[in-house]
Chains A and B, each alone.
Chain A
């Protein structure tokens, strides 16, 4: 090929790609370690993971590199700057949410604007029983609650179940609805769950209302004796972020696996058929009711289990965490990434979370610094800026502009769903 193709071969041909990717990963992790407070360095590290995904590195090497970066480098960098680990955990949580919503919206084509409700149901399930809250309506005197931390793992499974059940509960009344009507009802459902959480503090105090629930049990540090044996003395303060990071990483792994298996099966194909043409799908033998409920249940179960993790991680939850804006946030991740595409949902969730937590925050901090320093741009002194134009208020606006531009310029998303995941091969 011509010289123009040279940069492309660097990441496409297996051997040069392996060298390039490893160099970028090494360089970026080194720069994060060296400049632990630099947003740019950490973003370079995140980009290197993306580069690894898109590169033409041989699959087995790719897997090894992915495990090394996510399983080793990321936690190490996370101990250097704890905020990065928090970012990674948040990304993981939202990846699972986006993948769940991707089943409902992307595959089955059922627009759900109240998805965060399932997340809330999961979060409250553990919050109520993993804190003294349950004593208030079960038995004030015996004080059986909070449940011991080991129960957290039981509740992870319970989160899947309660999520799925809530999904079916929502699914049944909306089975006959399509498009706009479905969206409105799901929106209402999301609000109902939030309002319930806000008001179920009387007559029986289930959710403690707007005050929220705290302290919620965190999962047990069952591996601590092993660490002690190895001579590592780590305090819970440093252990818990790492613990949650690996927990989230594990759950995300399971979620991706389940998602892929569903997608490449008759169930996934039936969902897509429903999205394409409901009447034709049913005429071809796809049981609409069962398949739609299954889509709602599967999508919701991912949110349910992540809700459990979220409440344990935060130690405190209140209805504020489950607003309509959260649902829209997750939906924008799915749309930005590419509807119906698993890598798209993952990337969309990562990009949006990182944008919100780091890039836009960093930008507004920087603008604020400029303003406080009284820098003059084009003859205008930024210090004169009225408070209505406070940089912190730009964050949402810039995010909005990015969304609008993306939808206009690349409506299929960053990584569009690759339709031919499995092709019929000639024998």
Chain B
């Protein structure tokens, strides 16, 4: 089976700093893969390149066999790649349901004329959007908070709303940047159960940046380890766990199974 996402020799520099150096990544459909690594390893930079926020200096990124380099973030989202952000970036002064509705933008088949004339198609589509938004709120367990402003939601709810907003664009590939950061172990487990369900029900593929090792080990089919912008290991979680380079670079400083320290909050 051809890989859904293929990252080949991607290099990114910020001035003198090499954030990513010839990174390779391959992801098959229907899987959950994780990217781990110490702070500053280039994980989020990789996400930003995948979603078109900035271009790499070298290398290729292809999604479903098609290069996505040079596309704008909204075009990439329309292709079926959507993400969440490490530091939550909800539309703070919009309600939860409106946040999700914005996420559907690339799937709205309406033009200016439909909006101005309010023809039957507009009403049909609009009510379909609202129904779908309600469904998504149900999926992440925020139904009762549909009309709350995003900024008034508790932290954990904001994280889940971000996931729902990303799901709203009907992605094939979902990129989650530390989705459980700041969550309790119980909340994190709940979110992971949800992700597994989404994969089973919707054929979603997920790429995860995560510091919560318990989560990573439980859900991932594959783990990629980055350190100083280089891929130092890849494979099944149990293999990676034993890799001496990984232990040295990253895991040596921390025992397995411990909850992340306050620096990730």
Complex CA distance for A391 and B105, rounded to whole angstroms:
54
**A236 contacts B by Cβ under 8 Å:** no
Tell me the residues in window 256-292 of chain A with beta carbons closer than 8 Å to chain B beta carbons.
258, 261-262, 265-267, 269-270, 272-273, 276-277, 279-289
Which residues does chain A contribute within 8 Å of B78, judged by CB atoms? 285
Distance to closest chain A CB from B132 (angstroms): 11
Q: A154 contacts the other chain (Cβ, under 8 Å)?
A: no
Instruction: Return the chain B residue nearest A424 by Cβ.
Output: B146
CB of A283 within 8 A of CB of B105, answer no
Bound complex: CA A258 to CA B110 (Å): 16
Q: A261-B118, A272-B94 are in contact. Are A285 and B101 (CB under 8 A)?
A: no
Chain B contacts of A272 at CB under 8 A?
Answer: 91, 93-94, 98, 102
The 8 A CB mask of A231-273 against B (1 = contact, 0 = none) is: 0000000000000000000000000001001100111011011
Alpha-carbon distance A284/B100, docked complex (angstroms): 9
Minimum CB–CB distance for B236 against chain A, Å: 31
Specify the chain A residue showing the minimal Cβ separation from B72.
Answer: A282
Of all chain B residues, which has the CB nearest A267? B115
- CB neighbors of A among B129-175 (8 A): 129-130, 133-134, 137, 146-147, 149, 165-166, 168-169
Closest to B110 in A: A266
Of all chain B residues, the one with the shortest Cβ separation from A283 is B73
Minimum CB–CB distance for A295 against chain B, Å: 12
Contacting pair A280 B85 (CB below 8 A): yes
Residue B193 at the A interface, CB < 8 A? no
A294 within 8 A of B: yes
| Contact B110 A265, beta carbon cutoff 8 Å | yes
The yes or no answer to A423 lying at the interface (CB within 8 A) is yes
User: What residues of B have a CB within 8 angstroms of the CB of A423 in the complex?
Assistant: 95, 97, 146-147
B77 adjacent to chain A (CB < 8 Å): yes
Given contacts A279-B89, A424-B134, contact A266 B101 (CB under 8 A): yes
Number of A interface residues in the complex (CB < 8 A): 28
Residue pair B53, A285 in contact (C-beta under 8 Å): no
Residues A276 and B93 in contact in the complex (CB < 8 Å), given A282-B73, A286-B74, A288-B72: yes
CB distance from A55 to the nearest CB of B (A): 25
Q: A265-B126, A283-B53 are in contact. Are A420 and B91 (CB under 8 A)?
A: no
B73→A419 contact, CB < 8 A = no
Check A284 against B93 for contact (C-beta < 8 Å): no
A33 to B94, CA, bound (A): 46
Q: B207 at interface (Cβ–Cβ under 8 A)?
A: no
Given contact pairs A261-B115, A420-B147, A286 touches B105 in the complex (Cβ within 8 A): yes
Across the interface, name the chain A residue whose C-beta is closest to B148. A420
Interface of chain A, main secondary structure = helix
Give bound CA distance, A280 to B121, whole Å: 28
Nearest-Cβ distance from residue A165 to partner chain B, whole angstroms: 15
B95 adjacent to A284 (CB under 8 Å)? no
User: Which residues does chain B contribute within 8 Å of A424, judged by CB atoms?
Assistant: 97, 130, 133-134, 137, 146-147
CB neighbors of A among B86-112 (8 A)? 89-95, 97-98, 101-108, 110, 112
Contacting residues, chain B, for A283 (C-beta < 8 A): 51, 53, 73-74, 77, 82-83, 85
* Contact status A276-B94, CB under 8 Å: yes
Query: Does B116 touch A at the CB level, under 8 Å?
Result: yes
Interface string of A277-319 (1 = CB under 8 A from B): 1011111111111000010000000000000000000000000
Select one of A261, A282, A284 contacting B116, CB under 8 A: A261
* Smallest CB separation, B84 vs chain A (Å): 9
Contact A287 B72 (CB under 8 A): yes
Is B89 a contact partner of A282 (Cβ separation < 8 A)?
no
On chain B, the residues within 8 Å of A282 by CB distance are 72-74
**A271's closest neighbor in chain B, by CB?**
B102
Whole-angstrom distance between the alpha carbons of A277 and B92 in the complex? 9
Q: In the complex, what residues of B have CB within 8 A of residue A277's CB?
A: 89-92
On chain A, the residues within 8 Å of B75 by CB distance are 287
- Using CB atoms and an 8 Å cutoff, list the residues of chain B in contact with chain A: 51, 53, 72-75, 77-78, 82-83, 85, 89-95, 97-98, 101-108, 110, 112, 115-116, 118, 122, 126, 129-130, 133-134, 137, 146-147, 149, 165-166, 168-169
A sample of 27 cross-chain residue pairs with beta-carbon separation below 8 angstroms, ordered by A number, consists of: A261-B118, A265-B110, A269-B94, A270-B105, A276-B93, A277-B89, A277-B91, A280-B90, A282-B74, A283-B53, A283-B74, A283-B77, A283-B83, A283-B85, A284-B74, A284-B77, A284-B82, A284-B169, A285-B74, A285-B103, A285-B104, A285-B105, A288-B74, A294-B112, A423-B97, A424-B130, A424-B137
5 more CB-based (< 8 A) A-B contacts, given A282-B74, A420-B95? A269-B101, A272-B98, A284-B169, A287-B75, A288-B74
